[in-house]
A and B are shown apart, each in its own frame.
Chain A
Amino acid sequence: MARAFRRKGQRFVAKFDPMEREVVTDILEQTRKIVAPADTGKPEASTGDEFDQIVASISVGRDGPADPPEDLADRDPALDRLLPVAHRGDEKVAAEFRRLTEHDLRDRKAANLTAAIEALRGATGDHLALTKEQAGAVAVALTDARLVLGERLGLRTDEDAQSLELMVRTLDPEDPVVYAASIYDFLTWMQESLTTAMLGRGRFR
C-alpha cells in the first residue's frame, strides 16, 4: 500500500509496493514509446502487456485537433499534448518552432522517462528514496504520463476530469476505461505527493 512522499534529509522517501511500482513504470514505458523520436527509437517487440492494449485502444470523446496540418494529421494526438503549438495565430512560426525543437524535446523527454523508470526500479522492498535530481525527473515523467493517459481518456479540462469520474461510476468495473481512470488517479496522487514534498516550506532550489 502506497505511502505519500516526504522529505527526509536530502532524499524524498515514499512507500510503493512492487505491483504499484510496476504499474507506474509500465505507463512510463508506454509514454516513452510515444515520445521517443521515430529515428532513434529502437523497435521493441510488443510485450503483449495488457496495458499496451489499453493505452492503445482507449479513446473517450476524442475529437482530434481542429485543423491539423497535413503532415501532422497522422500523429498520435497524445504527442500534440506533450508538444503543443508554440505560437497562437501564426502557423508558420509555430511550424518552424516545431521543426527546430521537436526532435530534441522528444529526445530529452525519452531520456527523462528512462531516468525516472530507473529511479523507481531502484527501490528496495517497498521503500523508495529519490535524490533531488531523481525527484525532478519523476515529477516531469509523471506529468508526461498523465498528459498521454489524459488524452486517451479525453481529459482536457478540470471539468472533463469530473465528468470522467461520474462516467466511471456507470461503467462495468471490467471496462478498460475504469482501469485506466484508476491509474490516472494514482499517478495524480503520486505526483501531487511528490511535488508537495519537493516544494516543502521554502524554495526548492
Chain B
Amino acid sequence: VNLMSYVTYVFETYFGYPRNKAEKLMLDVHTKGKAVVSHGSREEMERDTEAMHGFGLWATFEKDA
C-alpha cells in the first residue's frame, strides 16, 4: 500500500543508497513482499527498524540463519 516512489525515497535518504540500489530494493518489496535492506549488529538493526517504523514502513529485524 506504500507508494513505490516513497519507498525509494526512504531507502535513498535514510540508508544513503544510490538510486539504482534503492529502486531494486523497492521492487523486491513490491514484488516479493519483502527485501533485506540492511545488515549489521543487533543494535544497528534495531535502530534501522525503528527508523523504518518512523517512516511508516513495516520493517522487522532478524538474525541471519
Choose one: A85, A105, A204; the contact of B50 (CB below 8 Å): A105
A198–B60 CA distance with the chains assembled, in angstroms: 26
A205 / chain B contacts, CB cutoff of 8 Å: 12-13, 16
**A contact face: mostly helix, strand, loop, or mixed:** helix
Give, as a whole number of angstroms, the nearest-CB distance from B10 to chain A: 9
- Closest residue of chain A to B22 (Cβ to Cβ) is A203
Choose one: A143, A158, A199; the contact of B8 (CB below 8 Å): A199
Give, as a whole number of angstroms, the nearest-CB distance from A75 to chain B: 15
B2 / chain A contacts, CB cutoff of 8 Å: 143
A104 / chain B contacts, CB cutoff of 8 Å: 50
Give, as a whole number of angstroms, the nearest-CB distance from B39 to chain A: 16
Q: Are B53 and A105 in contact (CB under 8 A)?
A: yes
Total interface residues in chain A, CB < 8 Å: 39
Give, as a whole number of angstroms, the nearest-CB distance from A191 to chain B: 6
User: Could you say which of A13-21, A144-152, A166-174 contacts chain B?
Assistant: A144-152
Q: Is A32 an interface residue (CB 8 A)?
A: no
Interface residues of B in 9-26 (CB under 8 A from A): 9, 12-13, 16, 18-19
Interface residues of A in 153-191 (CB under 8 A from B): 155-158, 160-161, 188, 191
A101–B18 CA distance with the chains assembled, in angstroms: 28
Give, as a whole number of angstroms, the nearest-CB distance from A116 to chain B: 12
Give the B-binding residues of A (Cβ under 8 A): 82-89, 97, 101, 104-105, 108-109, 136, 139-140, 143-144, 146-147, 150, 155-158, 160-161, 188, 191-192, 195-196, 198-199, 202-205
Pairs A–B under 8 Å by Cβ, sample size 23: A84-B59, A86-B46, A86-B50, A86-B59, A86-B60, A86-B61, A87-B61, A88-B60, A105-B50, A105-B54, A108-B54, A143-B55, A156-B1, A158-B1, A161-B1, A195-B8, A195-B9, A199-B5, A199-B12, A203-B18, A204-B9, A204-B12, A205-B16
